[in-house]
Chains A and B, each alone.
Chain A
Amino acid sequence: MIYDIAVVGGGPAGLSAAVQARQRNRTAVIVSGDDRDGPLSKTERVDNYLGIHGVTGPELLERFKTHAEGMGVARVTGRALNIMSLNGTFYIGVGSELVQSRTMVLAPGVVRRAKFPGEAEHMGAGVSYCATCDGMLYRGRDVVVVGRSAEAPEEANYLHGLGCRVTYTAPIRPEELNADIPFIKASKIAVCGEGKVASVKADGQDIPCDGVFILRSTVAPTDLLPALELRDGYIAVDRNMATNIPGVFAAGDCTGQPLQIAKAVGEGQVAGHRAAEYLDREDNKKTNQSK
């Protein structure tokens, strides 16, 4: 199905946008990775959200999620890998799934991490962001998984199950990681090789491999939509939370400071509302054309 509004990000801004879309009787889907990667899940106590205070971050998030679910917001779990717009429809690639929508709200939070040295140069030449997509191409070969998200260990286990020879590197060994997968504790990563990936340097230690899966919790919005305009490193939006791309709105931490729940919820509400109005206008145009 083609949703009216697809929201990238399942934090306060994204959930608020989706709830507002449903309030306006529009269909909405949230594309989001594991909640454990979001900052609210790591917040011990929230004291500055109007009317709901003295709660833990996970408690508040659960209330937000229950509200959205109750309103009929759909959910697709996984990383949005890329977005393409074709004839008024947005196509969002999420692992093996494809989500389609007429408008988008970007609410992925702050994606601060810069690329690793050698990463951009080896894209398509051994660097991959999708274990589901590319795992089969590395069966029987050496791969390194750079774990930077809560789902990364599961994806490493999946690659291991396919028959890839996996080495996992992260600052801490995750509990979920298959015991048969060798682990290298490291935080500084570089991708090396002439033309194609030959090894990964993890804190200076060279791990020879044919491929490296770099699994972060979110893909940077400008990698998803290269035409997206930024201002001071954040997504540039107007008072309607509209970006420079027609039909694409943004809300929450990705639009700038203050990085607070109330601000995210407010912006999400505006984005959801304006996205619904955008659709009303598009629908009117179609009706007028057919008259």
Chain B
Amino acid sequence: MATIHFNKEGFEKAITSGGITMVDFWASWCGPCRMLAPVIDDLANKYEGKAVIGKVNVDDEQALAMQYGVMSIPTVIFFKDGKELDRKVGVMPAEAYTAVLDANV
């Protein structure tokens, strides 16, 4: 499954859907975010059916970025039942994300 690009509605629906959701807050003008993109896409494939993995473009969804206190991008936030579980700021190796996913799927 390809990475989902969330708007506000899709985002709110996904994070309250029950399972674990991983959301990458990013923007096209940010080199490190583009660096992380293949990692996120790879995880979206690997965790298909087990976790929802998507992205929020902070350029289009500034209110969401504000609401979740995203102050530096990329920021990856994990949600379960609408609540924030964990967040990783900056570019991390794939294992940093899979550790959180594996503990919660």
Among B27, B35, B71, B91, contact of A125 (Cβ-Cβ < 8 Å): B71
Is A128 touching B71 in the complex (CB atoms < 8 A)?
yes
A211 to B98, CA, bound (A): 30
A96 to B70, CA, bound (A): 18
Is B31 touching A86 in the complex (CB atoms < 8 A)?
no
Q: Is A177 an interface residue (CB 8 A)?
A: no
Is B91 touching A84 in the complex (CB atoms < 8 A)?
yes
Which residues from B are CB-within-8-Å of A123? 72, 89-90
Q: How many A-B residue pairs have CB under 8 A?
A: 81
Q: Is B69 an interface residue (CB 8 A)?
A: yes
Shortest CB-to-CB span from A228 to chain B, Å, is 14
A128 to B69, CA, bound (A): 14
- Which of A67-75, A87-95, A166-174 forms part of the interface with chain B? A87-95
Which residues from B are CB-within-8-Å of A86? 38-39, 94
Is B58 touching A137 in the complex (CB atoms < 8 A)?
yes
Q: Is B56 an interface residue (CB 8 A)?
A: no
Is A82 touching B32 in the complex (CB atoms < 8 A)?
yes
Query: Which residues in window 71-98 of B have CB below 8 A to A?
Result: 71-73, 75, 87, 89-91, 93-94
Is A136 touching B59 in the complex (CB atoms < 8 A)?
yes
Which residues from A are CB-within-8-Å of B72? 123-124, 127-128, 130, 133-134, 137
User: Count of chain B residues with Cβ under 8 Å from any Cβ of A?
Assistant: 27
Shortest CB-to-CB span from A43 to chain B, Å, is 31
Q: Is B34 an interface residue (CB 8 A)?
A: yes
Is B75 touching A124 in the complex (CB atoms < 8 A)?
yes
Is B35 touching A84 in the complex (CB atoms < 8 A)?
yes
Is B58 touching A82 in the complex (CB atoms < 8 A)?
no
Which residues from B are CB-within-8-Å of A96? 29-31
Q: Is B43 an interface residue (CB 8 A)?
A: no
**Chain A residues touching B, range:** 20 to 34
A278 to B32, CA, bound (A): 27
A96 to B26, CA, bound (A): 12
Query: Which residues in window 90-143 of A have CB below 8 A to B?
Result: 91-98, 123-128, 130, 132-134, 136-138
Is A196 touching B35 in the complex (CB atoms < 8 A)?
no
Q: Is B33 an interface residue (CB 8 A)?
A: yes
Q: Is B15 an interface residue (CB 8 A)?
A: no
Among A94, A130, A133, A137, contact of B65 (Cβ-Cβ < 8 Å): A137
Asked if A133 meets B30 with Cβ closer than 8 Å, knowing A84-B35, A127-B72, A128-B72, the reply is yes
> In the complex, which of the residues A95, A130, A196, A210 has the most CB atoms of chain B within 10 Å of its own CB atom?
A130
Is B71 touching A124 in the complex (CB atoms < 8 A)?
yes
